[in-house]
Amino acid sequence: MTDVPHSHRSPGDAPSTADLRPPGAQPRPSRWGRWLRWIAGSLLVVMLIARLTVQDRLPFFSTLFYAAPLPVLTALAAGLVLASGRSRRACVTWSLVSGALCLWTLAEYRRSVPPTALERPIRLLLWNTGRGTIGSPDGIAREITRVDADLVVLIEAVPWEDPPEIRAFWKETCPQYRTSLLGGGIVLLSKFPSGETTTAELPLSTRTRQLDVDCRGTPLRLLVCDVGSNPFRSRKPTLDAITAAADKLADSPALVLGDFNTPHDSRCFDGLRKSYRNAFLTAGSGYLATWPIPLPVLSLDQIWASDRIAIGTCRHLWTTRSDHRPVLLEFDLK
């Protein structure tokens, strides 16, 4: 007689949930997991709607816009694909969204504009060096010497506040340049003579410095900006003030440049776009974003050129000396 195995479950016990799942099936996600996916998906949809409609024209949506550049939205959509679990519909939906965002990011963030030949190009280097907190001041100076630009505009230039100490450092490490301390951590290193500086303090703890540089007998007008970075306040009042100052220079060879702490596609640049061109969007080569290294997702460091500037090429360099990528522009004066 064959022994029949018996279950240890009593006759009145209901079958467990695990017994009802087919062999090899994944366990159902927890209620918290489903809620987290729902919140992440809803946030992604709201951010996409904000980017496609109002962008940063309204206060609440401006915070969403600044916090969610295209690479971040693409990564969030890819994460939702991985978190879809057994839901085929969710997996297909977020895969399509992720693929579309990936194509959008590649189209927006990659530039390969052929350079324009210039007779006597002038090279300008713009760089937020983060006060030397990542790379040493000596390493920053060596990088500047290696690039060998004609003009170097530094934001958050060095960790010191004493002007004689700053002048002595640049004179020793970069003797090929004239040093102009513009205040507020902004320094100009120039192979050309420069004039007096006009300063202005704007909303969001923003600093601007305006000066002329004599480039081979023709004045180049520079408006250097270091915009504050409060993520909960719109950049519009600040950039409107910068645009008003830039409009007074638009009939001359002029560059508006600096760390704007505002992405390149912000609607707050609409006024500036009327008289100036973003150098990288016009003649860029490579990857658009400049911050934060090592995985930059935002194009905060920008150079805008008036119509009296002929742009040859614009490149964003890679470095480990700062969390900002340097911007190298080759141009000539019309």
Taking the C-alpha atoms of residue 154 and residue 318, their distance in angstroms, rounded to an integer, is 16
Q: Which pLDDT score, from 0 to 100, does residue 13 have?
A: 53
Residue position matching structure tokens 């742009």: 311
CB under 8 A, 24+ apart: contacts of 162-170: 169/137, 169/141, 170/141
Q: How far is CA 325 from CA 102, 241, 290, in A?
A: 22, 26, 5
Q: Which pLDDT score, from 0 to 100, does residue 24 have?
A: 52
- The torsion of the CA quartet 188, 193, 196, 197, rounded to 10 degrees, works out to -20
CB-based contacts of 107, cutoff 8 Å, min separation 6: none
Q: Which pLDDT score, from 0 to 100, does residue 22 have?
A: 53
Q: Which pLDDT score, from 0 to 100, does residue 231 have?
A: 83
Q: Which pLDDT score, from 0 to 100, does residue 28 have?
A: 56
Q: Which pLDDT score, from 0 to 100, does residue 27 have?
A: 53
- Which residue ranges of the chain lie beneath pLDDT 70? 1-30
Q: Which residues pair with 211 in a beta bridge?
A: 222
CB-based contacts of 132, cutoff 8 Å, min separation 6: 140, 158, 159
Taking the C-alpha atoms of residue 86 and residue 26, their distance in angstroms, rounded to an integer, is 7
Which helix (H) or strand (E) is 8 found in, with range? none
